[in-house]
Structure 1
Amino acid sequence: MIYATLKTLHLLSIVVWIGGMVFAHFFLRPAVAQLEAPLRLRLMHDVLGRFFQAVLVASLLTLASGVWMLGRVAKQVVQSGGNFEMPLAWTVMAVLGVVMVAIFMHIRFALYKRFSRAVAVSEWAAAGAALAQIRTWVSVNLGLGVLVVLVALMRWST
């Protein structure tokens, strides 16, 4: 029961994170591109602020539930007298997940902070540059997230 709950939290967190990146990158960004810079940048600041709060929770839940599930499986194998060898797919998912969280933390606590400061003082060129950097790193994280999902679906075990 605990494992199923952890896996559900893990998957729902990933859906929120990756789904939000898809929405922001492919639907929201093109739609607001036609707005004047001050309006567009304020809107994106507000939307990203809310989204990044959700992703902060989702990313930490993803990490914690993933580590907990790995630990439970390893403990069960060892308690039954076996040697735990983490499957390649799990290793790839874990490594890419940690990289994704690190990238998100950079986005949230460095780039978004820079973006927020620029929006607060109406420095639209600086805000636009910061938003462009956020978009670049979100694209990287989206690519990594899709790769993690593909690894999970392929069930590579060697």
Structure 2
Amino acid sequence: MIYTSLKLAHVLATIVWIGGMVFAHFFLRPAVMSLEVPERVRLMHEVLRRFFNAVSVAVLVTLVTGLWMIGRVAKQLVQSGSSFSMPLSWTLMAGLGILMMLIFAHIRFALFKRLSVAAQSMDWEAGTVALAAIRKWVAVNLGLGVLIVALVTLLG
């Protein structure tokens, strides 16, 4: 029961993260392009602040539940006298997931900070530059997230 609950939390956190990136990249960003630059920068700053706070929680939940599930399976196998060898799909998911977390940390603590400073100081040019960098790295993370889902689904 605990494994199933952890897996549910893991999947739901992943849905929040990947789904939010899809929404922001393909629906929100194109819609705000019709706004004047100051309004666009302010709006995106506020939306991304809220989203990045939610993703921070999702990242922690994903990391903790993923490690716990791997550890639980490994412990059960070892206790039953078997050896544990992590499946390829789990190895890929864990490695690419850690890469996504590192990219998110860069987005959240470096790029978003630049956006925040620009929005606060009303430096709209710097704000648009920060948003472009955030968009690029969100697209990379979205691609990695979709790749992870495809690998885990196809490799089982």
1:77 corresponds in structure 2 to: 77
Q: Which amino acid aligns with 1:69?
A: M
**One-letter amino acid of the counterpart of residue 155, structure 2:** R
Q: CA RMSD in A?
A: 0.6
- Alignment identity in percent? 63
1:11 and 2:20 equivalent? no
Q: Distance in 2 between matches of 1:28 and 1:5?
A: 32
Distance between the aligned counterparts of 1:56 and 1:72, measured in 2?
24
Q: Following the alignment from structure 2 to structure 1, what is the Cα–Cα distance between the partners of residues 87 and 98?
A: 17
Deviations 1:63-122 (CA, angstroms, capped at 9, x unpaired): 110000000000000000011000111000000000000000110011000110011000
CA distance in 1, matches of 2:66, 2:89: 13
- The aligned residue for residue 28 of structure 1 is 28
- How far is 1:45 from its partner? 0.2
Q: What amino acid does structure 2 have at the position aligned with 1:134?
A: I
* 1:145 aligned partner: 145
**2:129 maps to 1:133:** no
**TM-score (norm. length: structure 1):** 0.98
Output the CA distance in 2 between the equivalents of 1:131 and 1:145. Answer: 20
How many equivalent residue pairs?
Answer: 156
C-alpha distance in 2, partners of 1:74/1:155? Answer: 19
Q: Structure 1: any 5+ residue segments left out of the alignment?
A: none
Aligned counterparts of 1:149 and 1:91: Cα–Cα separation in 2:
13
Q: CA deviation at 1:155?
A: 2.5
Deviation of 1:152 (Å): 1.3
Deviations for 1:31-64, whole angstroms, at most 9, x for unmatched residues?
0001000001100000000000000000110011
**Normalising by structure 2, what TM-score?**
0.99
Q: What CA deviation, in whole Å up to 9, does each residue of 1:113-153 have, x standing for no partner?
A: 01100110000000100110000000000000000000111
